Amino acid sequence: MAIKRFLKLYVVICVGILCFPLLGLINTTSGAEVTGNELVNLSVDQSLVAVNDGQHDWNSWSSVENASDVNPGSHNIVLASNTAESHAKAGAESASHQTEVTGAVATALEDFLELAKYGKAIHVMAMLMVGFGFLMVFVRRYGYGAVTATYIAVSIVIPYYMFLKRMGIFGEPAELKMDRLILAEFCAASILIATGAFLGRLKMSQYIIMALIFVPSYMLNEWIMLDNGMGIIPKGQLIDTGGSIVIHQFGAYFGLGVIVRMTTSEDFNKKIESDKISNQFSMLGSMMLWIFWPSFCAAPAEISRMPIAAVNTILSLCGATLATYIASTMIRKKIAIEDMANATLAGGVAIGSSCAHTTPQASLILGVIAGVLSVIGFAIIQPRVQKALKGIDTCGVHNLHGMPGMLGGLAAIFIAENVVPGLQIKGVFITFIVAWITGLAAGTVVSLFGYRKDSYNDAVEFIVEEEHH
């Protein structure tokens, strides 16, 4: 009965999600690129042409009506003077009217662009709640915990990030507009990535503490990478449109830093169980992420580059999917569903940095490389990393987000336009250091509140159906 209820709930969610793409449809024209400001100016200029045409007709009609007033032979000098003054006054009123029209058009276009960004923001929110949430329910007895942790993390991180931005804690104070909401969602995505590393081994209250620690840590690194924080990387010089470095790499290595402090010896003896149904739900979460990933990468791009960013992301995901199938079959002799649910997304992770600055061919190739690297990570590298760290990476975030994120950040040097190689390398290195140190610190703080008694078990904190039988 529990499974049937769960299936019905998921079907309802999926039907609702089908409506989201309708909110994100934006018509783009081919030909020369048009930036957001140029789009506003173009529409304003067109409006002014219409206004000027109308004003020209009005002045012509007025001059004909009062022709006698300005006749050189006329003796009515006072009347002619009054007419000249009225013309000057009309011209001033016309200029004022044009200014008002310009402002109104600019405001309307700005509102339209904000509404268009809302479509992208909803796509990203679908990734957070449905995509990440169900991707992590592969742990058979920790499905409730996985989706609840997702709810809690997102609900804390988004308002916390936006209010800290508004206060100017890192960088200049910023208005709470759609751009800030999208950046807050990116922060939420990063903590969900980190959560995948220690999933199932924290108490639910500890997820709250972790979220409160994570946001300032993430914003510190974001400030350094994107806003010339501490004068390390000039603003706008790091190529990382879709967050391969700032979002994925940071979240992965923050999570790995936490597991060093939050993994007990009993956890190594506890098997992470999954079954056919939990893996199928995880696969559906993966597909939801796959569908909306182009919006994730394109959301922060310039308007003129959004289409190519989305296309490049799709091609990279396609390359990773095909490479995952081939690599999983070759390495494991059979297809592993964990590879198909995770490594297929590595293309979206890797293309993030250069999605708006590279070619479709390079995107496809990068996706293939990322897919193979991720499968090798799950099949070969992960056991060695866990042994070295003495920690358990529950969801394998190092394989899906850590290594592909670093790959994407460094690959931008070779496949993206206008890249400063030294700054790109510096960005990858500094992000790793900041994420690792803050992750270790967060793990140390959270460990002070104790350890979970029975890992990967909903019954410790949730009312489960078995308790009623």
13, pLDDT greater than 90: no
Residues constituting the chain: 469
- 30 domain residue, yes or no: no
Q: Would you place residue 146 in the very low, low, confident or very high pLDDT band (cuts 50, 70, 90)?
A: very high
188, pLDDT greater than 90: yes
User: Between these two residues, 79 and 352, which has the higher pLDDT value?
Assistant: 352
Q: Would you place residue 462 in the very low, low, confident or very high pLDDT band (cuts 50, 70, 90)?
A: very high
Give the end of a domain, one of 72, 106, 140: 106
User: Between these two residues, 126 and 46, which has the higher pLDDT value?
Assistant: 126
| Interior/surface letters 303-333, b for 16+ CB within 10 angstroms, e for the rest | bbbbbbbbebbbbbbbbbbbbbbebbeebee
> What pLDDT, on the 0 to 100 scale, is given for residue 174?
76
CB-based burial of residue 243 (10 Å sphere; 0-12 exposed, 13-18 middle, 19+ buried)?
A: buried
Tokens of 302: 């310039």
236, pLDDT greater than 70: yes
Tokens of 242: 């879709």
Tokens of 330: 């070759």
Give the end of a domain, one of 76, 106, 136: 106
135, pLDDT greater than 80: yes
Average pLDDT for 17-21: 39
- 19 domain residue, yes or no: no
150 plus 72 within the same structural domain: no
C-alpha span between 131 and 400 (Å, rounded) = 14
Q: Would you place residue 455 in the very low, low, confident or very high pLDDT band (cuts 50, 70, 90)?
A: very high
- 234 domain residue, yes or no: yes
C-alpha span between 437 and 448 (Å, rounded) = 17
Nearest to 310 by CA among 133, 119, 39: 119
Tokens 């508004």 identify what position? 166
Q: Find the angle CA(334)-CA(340)-CA(346) to the nearest 5 degrees.
A: 130
- 6 domain residue, yes or no: no
User: Between these two residues, 110 and 284, which has the higher pLDDT value?
Assistant: 284
> What pLDDT, on the 0 to 100 scale, is given for residue 85?
59
Q: Would you place residue 116 in the very low, low, confident or very high pLDDT band (cuts 50, 70, 90)?
A: confident
Give the whole-number percent of the chain exceeding pLDDT 90: 69
Residue pair 378/343 in contact (Cβ under 8 Å)? The answer is yes
Tokens 């997820």 identify what position? 207
CATH number at residue 441: 1.10.3430.10
Tokens of 428: 């990858």
246 plus 366 within the same structural domain: yes
242 plus 300 within the same structural domain: yes
Nearest to 196 by CA among 326, 338, 313, 366: 338
55 plus 193 within the same structural domain: no
Residue pair 251/436 in contact (Cβ under 8 Å)? The answer is no
> What pLDDT, on the 0 to 100 scale, is given for residue 31?
35
- 212 domain residue, yes or no: yes
95, pLDDT greater than 70: no
- 26 domain residue, yes or no: no
Give the end of a domain, one of 46, 80, 106: 106
C-alpha span between 229 and 233 (Å, rounded) = 7
User: Between these two residues, 469 and 225, which has the higher pLDDT value?
Assistant: 225
C-alpha span between 167 and 213 (Å, rounded) = 17
| Interior/surface letters 44-72, b for 16+ CB within 10 angstroms, e for the rest | beebbeebeeebeeeeeeeeeebeebeee
271 plus 408 within the same structural domain: yes
Residue pair 317/287 in contact (Cβ under 8 Å)? The answer is no
187 plus 302 within the same structural domain: yes
Residue-averaged pLDDT of the chain: 84
C-alpha span between 100 and 97 (Å, rounded) = 5
pLDDT digits (tens, 9 = 90+) for 342-400: 999 999 999 999 999 999 999 999 999 999 999 999 999 999 999 999 999 999 999 99
Phi, psi of 5 (to 5 degrees): -65, -40
DSSP for 203-248, please give it: -HHHHHHHHHHHHHHHHHHHHHHHS-GGGSS-TT-S--TT-IIIII
At 272 the three-state DSSP class reads: coil
> What pLDDT, on the 0 to 100 scale, is given for residue 107?
80
184 plus 88 within the same structural domain: no
C-alpha span between 123 and 383 (Å, rounded) = 34
Tokens of 199: 């999933």
DSSP state of 395: T
C-alpha span between 366 and 357 (Å, rounded) = 13
Count how many domains the chain has: 2
64 plus 187 within the same structural domain: no
57, pLDDT greater than 50: no
> What pLDDT, on the 0 to 100 scale, is given for residue 125?
98
Average pLDDT for 313-338: 98
User: Between these two residues, 56 and 317, which has the higher pLDDT value?
Assistant: 317
140 plus 75 within the same structural domain: no
Tokens of 219: 């914003």
Nearest to 196 by CA among 141, 256, 246: 256
413, pLDDT greater than 70: yes
User: Between these two residues, 300 and 23, which has the higher pLDDT value?
Assistant: 300
Report which listed range, 32-41, 71-80, 419-428, is most confident. Answer: 419-428
Tokens of 194: 């980190």
129 plus 274 within the same structural domain: yes
Query: Domain limits at 412?
Result: 122-468
Tokens of 349: 């992770």
Angle between helices 178-198 and 204-226 (to 10 degrees): 130
Give the whole-number percent of the chain exceeding pLDDT 70: 78
Residue pair 140/199 in contact (Cβ under 8 Å)? The answer is no
- 268 domain residue, yes or no: yes
49, pLDDT greater than 60: no
Lowest mean pLDDT among 63-72, 84-93, 112-121, 431-440: 63-72
90 plus 204 within the same structural domain: no
315 plus 386 within the same structural domain: yes
39, pLDDT greater than 80: no
- 14 domain residue, yes or no: no
C-alpha span between 220 and 377 (Å, rounded) = 29
